[in-house]
Structure 1
Amino acid sequence: MEAEFDELKSQNSFDIKALAFRALNYWYLFVITLGIAFVVTYFYNKQLERIYRIESLISIKEEQNPFFSSSMNLTFNWGGASDKVETIKTILKSRAHNENVVRMLQSYIHYKKDGYYRLEDIHTDAPFVVSLDENFPQLFNTPIKIVFSDEQNFTASVEFLEDEIYRGINYKLNKVSSFSPKSPTFSGDYVMNQEVETPFFKFSLTPRRDTNIKIGQPYYVYFTSLNDEISKYRSIGVSLKVQGASMLVLSLTGPNRAILADYLNMTTEILKQKQLEEKNQFATNTLQFIDEMISGVEDSLRKDEQKLKEYKQDNKVFNPSLKGEEVFSKLNQYSIEKNGYMLKLQYYKLLEDYLTNSTDFRSLPAPASSGIDDPNIVNNVSKIVSLSIQRAKLGETVKNDIFFKEIDQDIEATKRVLLENVKTARSSTNIDIENVESRTARANAEFRKLPEEEQQLFNIERSYKLSEASYTLLLEKKNEAGIVKAANVSDVKVIDSAKDLGQGSILPNTRKNYSIALFLGLLLPLGFVFLVTVLDNNINTPEDIKKLSNIPILGIVSRSRTESNLTVFESPKSSVAESFRGIRSSLQYMYKNLDKDKTKTVMVTSSVSGEGKTFCSINVASVFSLTGKKTILVGLDLRKPKIFGDFGIDNDTGVVNYLIGQKELDEVIQSTKYDNLDVVTSGPIPPNPSELLISQKLDEFITELKKRYEYIILDTPPLGLVSDALDLINHVDATIYMVRQDYSKKAMLNIINEKYKKGEVKNISFVFNDYRQKAKYGYGYGYGYGYGYGYGSYGNGYHENENQSLLSRLKRAFKRNKH
């Protein structure tokens, strides 16, 4: 069972080597398909629109204002937790930002000219600039043709498709409307620098500096929708230059490098301006608030100044008493002292809120800005700011939370201590405020003892001084805010702006397309060769025979170039003649167990007609006769007699005449011109060939021949067509089964294989006939088959030169059917 399985596996296995050599034989198909594939790919690449990639590089870093100091107002350095890089990446892809860029560049206006395959965008190479009325519904997604007749005059025209609905867009409102043209064409003559107003568009053309108008050349103005442009540019690529760094690579792809570069530079510029505006927003709001406050304080200050002046003049009071001056000085001192404590309480409250609600403490206000000199608070604020800065720097290079664990624990511990410090300091400050209020109450009691006129004077003067101090403070803070705003710089910095440097296209990927062409150019003919190989049911190589049968191969006979079947006699030095000598030697090996003096018989058969039985029979008989042995060739293919023609004898009398009793043996044996070789032809075609071959007369015929000859060669009918040859097997010592290259079918071997497995035939061998050393099969001579003999081509010094002219080969092709 296992042997049968191995045999079946061997027969069904696919011969990769044979496929490879067969593919080489069809080399011209590969050349043709590759040529077509490359030509098609060339024109395909040619007509595809070129797509380019432009990049720019920016850095994102929160720049500290160089004019900030601890004495400035707390809010100017107020900070908080932020992720600047991620925020910028989101902004760059947002609709609002890209709409601003599109509107700024008017990216929805396209300037085009005729290209070889399509309209090509020429951008700033256009000799004119379109100035749109953005409140007018402009025709979009339809080219408007512009042709100049001279430097100033031009014709604008539009070709409309029949039954097509067209749309116009109001860019101001981003509103789309529809209309149907009344005529398939529109055309009008207009003048440069004058507004063109039509039912479909409204704009004016102005000359572009440093460009020349080409008279008669068509230019095209092409409007697209605002939404389409925004969607197109929202695909902007934004990626980190280096992981963990605050540098971003901005990239865009499109058919025009100059447009891409302009867009990237504009998007960066608008981003910078927006970031600076946001950074200055608090300072701007503060300046506006201070201006409003100054306006009110100025009025109060003027009124208090006028009131103080009028009171002194009316009451003739210019020099208050020493007692009054002393009390007034105390009250002013207590007020200043109380204000200082209130400022500290305000700082404590702000610090507590900041520590409770924020996570980034880099911008904590300095305690000294509020007059706080508590060493615990000052040291801990300094420590938590330092830790926050250290953490921020670490965050620029690493993203793993495990690296922040220790530093976050230190920040949290410092924050808890600082909150306790604030609680303690707030209690102490409230006690100080109570003491100041107590002293202020006593001074007010003394103040009320002063004369009425003097009290009123001190109250008016006190109000004036407070207004003056507030006015001075507001001017100081306004000056500080102005300095901070003027010194602020954007957190966005351009490192490498986008430029059109003639970068090569990224699409079409010509290398990839040619690789696909190469793949298809090889795959299609290879697939064809594979199908041919799979569907090929012919026996093409000796290896096929080995896979299909366990019957050994006796020899391999190459294609004969002689005019007749008498190759051994006519071309004794040819490889064909040498092959038959090898077959003769192998047959001798098969006969080694027979009596040396006994007549040796060999039968030549095949599956069907045309596989070379007669050719092999004649030449096997020929090689035996050349050894000086009495040899006879018998034609037992009673249905299709053949062997007589090559020897120049007739077929009038033969085996049939003997078997039916018309002739004696001597009368049917015909001599040839070659020594030791006689022939018995088949004779007239009988109506009952099968019955004749199983008759008693055939046994007598073979017996009589064995008495006269040393070798008997039987040319028999095809085994696959009739059963005659099977009946003759019992009369022979060896059987040669012919298989012809590119002719014999694989299924034809099933009958003889079955007989061989059952033991019904013995001493049977294959002869592989008409073998050509073709590249498509990948096999040459040199196989060691059968009984140990190898058959191959020999050097030109041994064999005759078998190269023939093309004409000779054509002649031979017409006679191929004989073997």
Structure 2
Amino acid sequence: MNSSKNRFFVNTEFDLDIIRNVLKKNFLFALLIIAFFGALSFLYLRYTKPVYQSQMVIQIDNEDQGANVLDLKNVNNDGNISKEIELLRSQFLFEEALKRLNLEVSHFAKGEFLTEERYTQSQFQVQLFKLNEPDLYNLPIYFYKDNSNQYKIKYNYKGKEYIEEVFLNQAHKNEFFHIFIKSENEEVLKRDINDNELYFVFNNTQSLMARLHGDLTIAPLDVKAKSILISYRSNNAHLSQDICNAVGESFFDYDDHLQQESSEKILKFINAQLDSLNKELILSRNALTEFQRRENLSDLENIESNLSAKVNTLENELEKLKIEHQDLKRIKTEINNSPRSTEVYKLLPVLIEKSYQNALKDQIETLFSKLEQRENLLYTVTEESRTITQLDKKISADIEITNKIINALEEKTAERIDFLENEVKEARSQFFSIPDKKMELSRLKNKQDLNEKYYTSLNEKKVAYAISNAGYTSENKVLSKALLNSTPVEPNKFQIYYTYFILGILLALLFLFFKYVSYDELNNLGDLEKLAQNQMNILGSIPFQNSDSPHSQLVVHNNPKSYLSEAFRGIRSNLKFINPEAKTIAISSSISGEGKTFVALNLSAILAMSGKRVVILDLDLRKPKVHLGVSLDNKLGVSDFLSQNCTLEECINKDVIPNLDVITAGSIPPNPSELILSKYLTELIENLKTKYDYVLIDNPPVGIVSDGVQLLHDADIPIYIFKANYSKRQFIKRVLELKEIQKIKSINLLLNGVEQRNSKYGYGYGYGYGYTADQKKNRRFKK
């Protein structure tokens, strides 16, 4: 019977009346949605900690002016800032930066909802001298004033609560820690204590790193200009500024330290070589001087030039090869002793002017490049990582190749030395006729000259590097220093308000749209006409009636000239055009609350006021209401008569108003359907038709039960009631079912509770014209 009742109705038509009704009923709720989101945005901004950001811009510019003067390659600057960026991001440098700040103790103020880190803005400052218990790190220690106006600290340690009296600007020492509490303005401190809950915590490096390092951002600003952006975010603007500046300063200091350390190692290596050559030079010089003094050979004639030149040339080359052979061993030793040190690149000065310079230079430079790459990676990964392991394998392979090259060069040099020694031996054999003293003198001079030559050459290299190192200056610049930013970057008030406002509007519009498309209420006769599809008669409309009574009341007799009375007179006139000979009028609706009892009472009263004898029959046996509308008791009625518990005369309430009798529903029976469908009811109605001009039947709602369907079918005029802004549009389907399935030929529709401005039919009284489906264009009822 009511299968259509649960179907979801979707409104697909554009109707301004529906829009007006939806706005009228839901506009306040839509505004509440927008206001709710406005309140949410306010609460979000009110109870969200602000985030402040400070930024610092630095420029990397390490220029080797000495290398430019000497036309040497600048090994300190390769034009890449990736190494510097990784160093700035590293935990090592951030830890160095934190050491520059006073963060041994953090100060907090706990409000009703938020906790604020005060940093240097705290009204009291705690200086930590000594902490004996590491477990006290990160433990809140509350600072307050008790009822006796004494300053106290309170903390819980290992399940025990400690409360100790402290004094401002005095040291406080106990078994756990030694601190000093100071305050510059005690009056402001007292107000702060009254407004907030103050406490402090001791910080260790690990907790500070874990809490602060994640808010640091390092990004290249311009790779070509080698500019880097250092950014830090914090809930405290001063802390953000100080950390930003501390990171930049720590980077500059560490960069200078690395350069100084590298320079010292290179100069130390060169000085060691010079010391070794200097000793050789002194020995050769002393030997030559001693020999000349002992043998008195200062005035020796020149030895034959060609033989002497040959010997000198061979010996010079031999000595040079021996030195190269010795240097090869030294290079091999340095590489094998420190296979992972980037200082291998500092061996390049030893290769200068060596015969094997080209053979080893590229290999050592390649090795240095990978060692430097390894050192850079260690800023971000551990030595056990896969990347470092693979790189170590490549470095080991390069070292092995380098050793093979050196071994080959050693073998080649040794062969050449053997060859030259044989050549020198052969040349000397030609001097057997030359006195041994002349030969010895020549040998000593050659050794002296050779030592002086190499000492001078290495000293020149030392001077050249010293000039290069002196000319190397760190031109790192601060392009933009971190400033105190008192305007929070988060949350953005405008963005938050705008976003929440738009969300509120969208949700409110979505809500109104949903109410519109799901709007399933009848508003006026125009809606009823459209839904009836010209298949049923429209009797008219009844204006909305304000009433304090919870039940339908008989009211038209009290004010016969009211809009309501005029509306019912119009309905009465339309009924005459539908069926002038009608005796029975059955009134029903889809559900309770649509006003069928109200219409039955007042329509019967209007008919009675016109001089007709009228009786109302209350057949809504489950929820009878007619007796309430006319202030009667319900002791005897239809159910009692049909059950043959009383006579008809005992059931009739005479002259409720002149010409109007009422038969109430009577006792509520256990079997209302059987009583309504019994032959006794038919006989009762036929009997009443002989006594009255009109018999009005208040049917049960046929949208809920089917008891009254047959009565609608048998009535001379069946009336179906709808209520404006209450009845659902899909209820019309039930009426169509009655017409098609139950073969009720002429169903007459009446719209109750119409607001006057919504009435499209009538002259302002709230009632309208009625017409049949077949007579819509050609016939009109009485106005």
Q: Do both share a fold (TM > 0.5)?
A: yes
Inter-partner Cα distance in structure 1 for 2:316 and 2:80: 42
Q: CA deviation at 1:332?
A: 4.4
Cα separation, partners in 2 of 1:40 and 1:334, compared to 1, 3 Å: same
Cα deviation, 1:197-245, whole Å, max 9, x if unaligned, reads: 543334668x9xxxx9224554976421210112234324445446976
Written as runs of structure 1 = structure 2, the 5 A alignment for 1:181-220 is 183-187=162-166, 198-202=174-178, 213-215=184-186, 218=189
Identify which of 3, 8, 12 aligns with 1:12. Answer: 8
Which range moves more in the overlay, 501-510 or 716-725? 716-725
Cα deviation, 1:695-741, whole Å, max 9, x if unaligned, reads: 55754664787xxx7xx563444466999865654654331022446
The one-letter code matched in structure 2 to 1:504 is P
The answer to whether the aligner puts 1:792 opposite 2:760 as a matched pair is yes
Identify which of 436, 454, 457 aligns with 1:452. Answer: 436
Written as runs of structure 1 = structure 2, the 5 A alignment for 1:62-141 is 63=62, 65-68=64-67, 77=75, 85=82, 87-110=83-106, 118=115, 120-123=117-120, 130=127, 132=129, 139-141=136-138
Provide the aligned C-alpha RMSD in A: 6.7
Identify the residue that residue 446 of structure 2 maps to in structure 1.
462
Cα deviation, 1:52-84, whole Å, max 9, x if unaligned, reads: 2333344567x563432697888x74999x975
The one-letter code matched in structure 1 to 2:7 is Q
Cα separation, partners in 2 of 1:341 and 1:600, compared to 1, 3 Å: farther
Cα deviation, 1:95-124, whole Å, max 9, x if unaligned, reads: 333333323435344356787854542327
The answer to whether the aligner puts 1:558 opposite 2:543 as a matched pair is yes
Cα deviation, 1:3-23, whole Å, max 9, x if unaligned, reads: x99x94993235699899568
Cα separation, partners in 2 of 1:103 and 1:726, compared to 1, 3 Å: closer
The answer to whether the aligner puts 1:604 opposite 2:569 as a matched pair is no
Cα separation, partners in 2 of 1:188 and 1:101, compared to 1, 3 Å: same
Verify the 8 A CA contact 2:5 2:730 in the aligned structure 1.
Answer: no
Q: CA deviation at 1:559?
A: 1.2
Identify which of 296, 300, 310 aligns with 2:280. Answer: 300
Secondary structure of the residue aligned to 2:175 is coil
Secondary structure of the residue aligned to 1:560 is coil
Identify which of 446, 460, 485 aligns with 1:476. Answer: 460
Inter-partner Cα distance in structure 2 for 1:722 and 1:133: 88
Which range moves more in the overlay, 300-309 or 515-524? 515-524
Identify the residue that residue 784 of structure 1 maps to in structure 2.
none
Unaligned runs of at least 5 residues, structure 1: 149-154, 167-179, 351-362, 389-424, 592-596, 647-651, 673-678, 774-779, 782-790, 803-819
Inter-partner Cα distance in structure 1 for 2:9 and 2:713: 35
Q: CA deviation at 1:634?
A: 3.9
Identify the residue that residue 50 of structure 1 maps to in structure 2.
50
Cα separation, partners in 2 of 1:556 and 1:104, compared to 1, 3 Å: same
Inter-partner Cα distance in structure 1 for 2:436 and 2:567: 155
Matched positions, count: 664
Verify the 8 A CA contact 1:637 1:717 in the aligned structure 2.
Answer: yes
Identify the residue that residue 202 of structure 2 maps to in structure 1.
223
Inter-partner Cα distance in structure 2 for 1:439 and 1:319: 29
Written as runs of structure 1 = structure 2, the 5 A alignment for 1:561-576 is 567=556, 570=559, 574=563
Written as runs of structure 1 = structure 2, the 5 A alignment for 1:411-422 is none
Identify the residue that residue 816 of structure 1 maps to in structure 2.
none
Cα separation, partners in 2 of 1:614 and 1:39, compared to 1, 3 Å: closer
Verify the 8 A CA contact 2:256 2:474 in the aligned structure 1.
Answer: yes
Identify which of 148, 160, 170 aligns with 2:155. Answer: 160
Inter-partner Cα distance in structure 2 for 1:645 and 1:103: 90
Inter-partner Cα distance in structure 2 for 1:32 and 1:769: 31
Verify the 8 A CA contact 1:632 1:680 in the aligned structure 2.
Answer: yes
Inter-partner Cα distance in structure 1 for 2:628 and 2:288: 158
Q: CA deviation at 1:134?
A: 8.3
Inter-partner Cα distance in structure 1 for 2:452 and 2:572: 134
The one-letter code matched in structure 1 to 2:299 is N
Secondary structure of the residue aligned to 1:450 is coil
Q: CA deviation at 1:288?
A: 0.6
Cα deviation, 1:170-215, whole Å, max 9, x if unaligned, reads: xxxxxxxxxx78x432536765xxx87543334668x9xxxx9224
The one-letter code matched in structure 1 to 2:153 is V
Cα deviation, 1:361-386, whole Å, max 9, x if unaligned, reads: xx9999x9749999xx99xx9xx99x
Cα separation, partners in 2 of 1:522 and 1:443, compared to 1, 3 Å: same
Verify the 8 A CA contact 1:603 1:732 in the aligned structure 2.
Answer: yes
Unaligned runs of at least 5 residues, structure 2: 190-197, 332-345, 370-408, 631-635, 670-674, 768-783
Secondary structure of the residue aligned to 2:486 is coil
Cα deviation, 1:381-405, whole Å, max 9, x if unaligned, reads: 9xx99xx9xxxxxxxxxxxxxxxxx
Verify the 8 A CA contact 2:588 2:719 in the aligned structure 1.
Answer: yes
Identify the residue that residue 408 of structure 1 maps to in structure 2.
none
Q: CA deviation at 1:298?
A: 3.2
Secondary structure of the residue aligned to 2:67 is coil
Secondary structure of the residue aligned to 2:214 is coil
Identify the residue that residue 696 of structure 2 maps to in structure 1.
714
Cα separation, partners in 2 of 1:487 and 1:571, compared to 1, 3 Å: farther
Inter-partner Cα distance in structure 2 for 1:244 and 1:20: 63
Cα separation, partners in 2 of 1:204 and 1:449, compared to 1, 3 Å: farther
Identify which of 234, 246, 249 aligns with 2:213. Answer: 234
Secondary structure of the residue aligned to 1:681 is strand
Cα separation, partners in 2 of 1:578 and 1:319, compared to 1, 3 Å: farther
Give the structure-1-normalised TM-score: 0.60
Verify the 8 A CA contact 1:343 1:370 in the aligned structure 2.
Answer: no
Identify the residue that residue 253 of structure 1 maps to in structure 2.
233
Give the structure-2-normalised TM-score: 0.62
Inter-partner Cα distance in structure 1 for 2:684 and 2:141: 105
Inter-partner Cα distance in structure 2 for 1:221 and 1:724: 81
> Could you tell me the percent identity over the aligned residues?
16
The one-letter code matched in structure 1 to 2:97 is V
Q: CA deviation at 1:287?
A: 0.4
Written as runs of structure 1 = structure 2, the 5 A alignment for 1:671-682 is 679=659, 681-682=661-662
Identify the residue that residue 247 of structure 2 maps to in structure 1.
267
The one-letter code matched in structure 2 to 1:265 is N
